[in-house]
Amino acid sequence: MRLDEDDVATLHQQLAWLTKREGFVQRRLTYAAIVDELLRGSLEDSFERLRHRFISAIHTLPGEQADLLLDVYALSPDTQDVPELLQRRQIHGDKIGRNVDTVRTRETAALKAPHSRLVTGRYAQAPLVLDVPEMHSGIIYEEVSVLTVVENRHWKATYEHHRLATSEDSLEYVTIGRSYPGIVTPSSKGDFKVNTRPVDGAGWNDHFWHLNTERTATEPMQDRTRYDLRFRITSPDDGSEPEPMTLASRALHHRSLLFTIRVGFIGDQPASIWKFEGASPFARPHAANEYNRIHLDARGTATLTLRDVPGGLFNGFAWGWDT
* Phi and psi, residue 78, nearest 5°: -75, -20
The number of domains in the chain is 2
Summarised one tens digit per residue, pLDDT across range 159-192 is: 999 998 887 777 889 999 888 899 999 998 889 9
Q: Are residues 106 and 159 in the same domain?
A: no
Same-domain check for residues 92 and 152:
no
Tell me, yes or no, whether 164 and 267 share the same domain.
yes
Helix axes 100-110, 63-72, angle to 10 degrees: 110
Between strands 139-151 and 183-186, the pairing is: unpaired
- How many C-beta atoms surround the C-beta of residue 9 within 10 A? 20
Question: CB of 35 within 8 A of CB of 118?
Answer: yes
Most confident range (mean pLDDT) of 4-13, 127-136, 291-300 is 291-300
Q: Do residues 263 and 313 share a domain?
A: yes
Examine the pLDDT at 128 and tell me if it is beyond 80. no
Residue 132 lies in a domain: no
Look at 131 and 126; give whichever has higher pLDDT.
126
Q: Let me know if residue 203 belongs to a domain.
A: no
Q: What mean pLDDT is reported for the chain?
A: 89
Q: With pLDDT > 70 as the criterion, what percentage of the chain qualifies? A: 96
Q: Are residues 69 and 160 in the same domain?
A: no
Region 86-92: what's the mean pLDDT? 96
213, part of any domain: no
Report the SS3 class of residue 46: coil
Task: List the domain range (segments joined by +) for residue 98.
Answer: 5-120
Residue 96 is predicted with a pLDDT of 94
Q: Is residue 126 part of a domain?
A: no
Cα separation of 181 and 235, whole Å? 7
Rounded to an integer, what distance in angstroms lies between the CA atom of residue 153 and that of residue 174?
32
53 plus 158 within the same structural domain: no
Residue 279 has pLDDT above 80, yes or no: yes
Residues 151 and 261 both lie in one domain = yes
pLDDT at res. 281: 79
How much is the pLDDT for 41? Answer: 86
Smallest CA-to-CA distance from 229 within 166, 181, 277 is with: 166
- Burial grade of 185 (CB within 10 A; 0-12, 13-18, 19 or more): middle
Question: Of 202, 195, 208, whose CA–CA distance to 160 is shortest?
Answer: 208
Instruction: Characterize the bridge pairing of strands 226-234 and 154-166.
Output: antiparallel
Domain membership flag for residue 157: yes
Both 151 and 103 in one domain: the answer is: no
Q: Which of 41-45, 136-140, 202-206 has the lowest mean pLDDT?
A: 136-140
Residue 302 has pLDDT above 90, yes or no: yes
User: Quick check: is 193 in a domain?
Assistant: no
Partner residues linked to 155 by β-bridges: 150
Statement to judge: residues 230 and 308 lie in one domain: yes
Same-domain check for residues 162 and 244? yes
Each residue's pLDDT tens digit, 98-124: 999 999 999 999 998 888 889 888 888
190 belongs to a structural domain:
no
pLDDT at residue 136 in the model: 57
Contact 183, 236 (CB under 8 A): yes
Same domain, 235 and 306: yes
For 212-226, give the secondary structure using H, E and C.
Answer: CCCCCCECCECCCCE
In this structure, are 303 and 156 located in the same domain?
yes
156: DSSP letter = E
Residue 157: name the closest of 175, 182, 177 by CA. 182
104 in a structural domain: yes
Residues in Cβ contact with 312 at an 8 Å cutoff, skipping those fewer than 6 apart: 251, 252, 253
Query: What pTM value is reported for the model?
Result: 0.83
Predicted pLDDT at 321: 94
